[in-house]
Amino acid sequence: MITRLEATRYRCFEQLGVDTSEFQVIVGANGSGKTTLIDLPNLFGELLRADNIASVFTLKRGSLPARAAALRELVFAGRGDDFSLALEVKLSSSIFKRIASRVPVAACEDGEFRRLVAQLQAWFPAEMPA
């Protein structure tokens, strides 16, 4: 389940942070970002499947129009060159176990990542393989 959506400098949002629950009601004036907010989970899915990130934003999506004609249109107030998006999810224990079992800890050279995995194993010993 999605537990939080964040957007920084994306479209109409200079800074957005929304904690979500099972049921949400979204109300706002025209042009306030309701559609953009509702589109974020779909956008993440498309980004994960995409071969070309730019095309997710600039190509028509079936009967839906492109999100933008040019990538610059996606940056808040047209100023700057970047924006960021974040998604937090709560995974079921079965999905968590599947993902955790595939993390190649031994092959990882990054010590910080290994410390993170060790901490996760300490917090969730039943779900994380040793």
Digits of tens for pLDDT over the chain (130 positions)?
899 999 999 999 999 999 999 888 999 999 999 999 999 999 999 999 999 999 999 999 999 999 999 999 999 999 999 999 999 998 888 888 877 777 665 555 666 777 777 777 777 776 555 5
Q: How many domains does the chain have?
A: 2
Rounded Cα–Cα distance for residues 129 and 100 (Å): 7
Concatenated DSSP letters for 17-62? EEE--SS------TTSSHHHHHHHHHHHHHHHH-SSHHHHHHS-BT
Domain membership of residue 129 (yes or no) is no
Residues 52 and 76 reside in one and the same domain: yes
pTM of the predicted model, to two decimals? 0.73
Residues 23 and 44 reside in one and the same domain: yes
Residues 78 and 100 reside in one and the same domain: no
Residues 27 and 45 reside in one and the same domain: yes
Domain membership of residue 104 (yes or no) is yes
Residues 99 and 69 reside in one and the same domain: no
Rounded Cα–Cα distance for residues 126 and 86 (Å): 28
Residues 20 and 78 reside in one and the same domain: yes
Rounded Cα–Cα distance for residues 5 and 22 (Å): 14
Residues 73 and 27 reside in one and the same domain: yes
- Parent domain of 98: 93-123
Rounded Cα–Cα distance for residues 7 and 95 (Å): 26
Rounded Cα–Cα distance for residues 61 and 4 (Å): 25
